[in-house]
Amino acid sequence: MNTLDAIRNRRSIRRYRKGIDIPAEDIKTMLEAAMLAPSARNCRPWEFTVIKNRDIMGKIMDISPYTKMMETASLAIVVCGRPEGKDGQNNDFWQQDCGAAIENLLLAALELGYGTCWCGLYPSGDRYKLMQELIDTDAIPMAVIAVGEADEKPERRGFYDETKVRWI
């Protein structure tokens, strides 16, 4: 699949086939794609927590009302960021850096045959703080990604909109 086809075919999947085990090699490939994303000053401010434990996935659904797809997803990947750069300087762009990593992860998952759903955590209320406690990290949980074998085929919602473009 070429890149434009992947971008056009990616969907947010909210229903997955239960009981599908995703091989560790596929998970590593998704994480590698995420870590190949660009980042400001090459800070690479991201950290990833892969969750397969059904009890923990249930607690994620308690933390965020928009993560009910975890009930059938094979796993969750929590994407965390660190505002402090590796050189000790502040990285004001950590959110953009993590967003780029997430999009790479979503596209790699599609290439491997999996569906995903990006569910935001930061800066929404206390969700990210509760997730910090759940996964025992001091990094900032920006989002949780549901991953699994899709059990639905949603229609495309995105489209090119000329009214959103200014030419100078």
Q: What is the pLDDT of residues 115-133, one digit of tens each?
A: 999 999 999 889 999 999 9
Give the predicted TM-score (pTM) of the model. Answer: 0.95
Residue 29 buriedness (CB in 10 A; 0-12 / 13-18 / 19+): middle
CATH of 23-149, one of 3.40.109.10, 3.40.190.170, 3.20.20.80, 3.30.420.40: 3.40.109.10
Residue 88 has pLDDT above 90, yes or no: no
Q: Which two tokens stand for residue 11?
A: 């969907």
In the chain, what are the domain boundaries? 23-149
Per-residue pLDDT of 38-51, as tens digits, reads 999 899 999 999 99
pLDDT band at 28 (very low <50, low <70, confident <90, very high): very high
CA distances from 123 to 16, 103, 130 (A): 27, 18, 12
